[in-house]
Amino acid sequence: MNTPRPLSIRSLLATAGVALFASTALAFSKPATLVIDGQPIASDVPPVTQNHEAYVPLRAVTAGIGAEMSYDKATRTIAVTRGPDRLKLRVGDRTATLNGRTVSLKHAPFTVRGRTMVAARTIERALGPKVRYDQRKATIDVFTTDASVAADGGDESSNAF
């Protein structure tokens, strides 16, 4: 009969070290805050930041910028309308439709606890408000008017949203 070998002290210490590091990082991490025109926006799912990118809960942002959002269960398509602009997208799909033309998304929308998350850059390029992500302060600022934002420092060379 084979009996399991006991863990070596080295393996045990390595595992404990990794667990301690991960739990400490999680304990001191601060979720990003979403602010629209100077007003903090409450959402049951906070923004997600990963690899210098910010992802925002679509429903919270659309409500905050005065856009309308609908979901077509049959096609699993999300439609967002703000003024003359209409964005249609699907979770997991890097292709969307903006005002009837196909556009490529740099990052596909995804869900977190039932909420659709989209890249902040998608909101900016498709629906018009300026979006700034301050990684140091863990803040995502959305500005619906040009008067409330400084000059754009983002990279406009990419065709992907």
Q: What would the two tokens of residue 135 be?
A: 């990684």
Residue 118 has pLDDT above 70, yes or no: yes
Regarding beta strands 48-50 and 139-143, do their DSSP bridges make them parallel or antiparallel, or are they unpaired? unpaired
What phi, psi does 81 have (nearest 5°)? -125, 130
| Cβ atoms 88, 103 nearer than 8 A | no
Q: Does some domain include residue 20?
A: no
Domain that holds residue 54: 33-146
In this predicted structure, what is the pLDDT of residue 59?
A: 94
What's the structural domain count of the chain? Answer: 1
Residue 146: strand, helix, or coil: helix
| Cβ atoms 30, 138 nearer than 8 A | yes
pLDDT, tens only, 81-97: 999 999 999 999 999 99
CATH number where 39 lies: 3.30.457.10
Q: Does some domain include residue 9?
A: no
Q: What would the two tokens of residue 58 be?
A: 């679509």
Residue with tokens 């008017």: 145
DSSP state of 156: -
Q: Does some domain include residue 160?
A: no
What phi, psi does 80 have (nearest 5°)? -125, 130
Q: Does some domain include residue 151?
A: no
Q: Does some domain include residue 123?
A: yes
pLDDT confidence of 120, banded at 50, 70, 90?
very high
Tell whether pTM > 0.75.
no
Go through the chain and tell me how many residues it has: 161
pLDDT, tens only, 23-69: 555 445 567 899 999 999 989 999 988 878 899 999 999 999 999 99
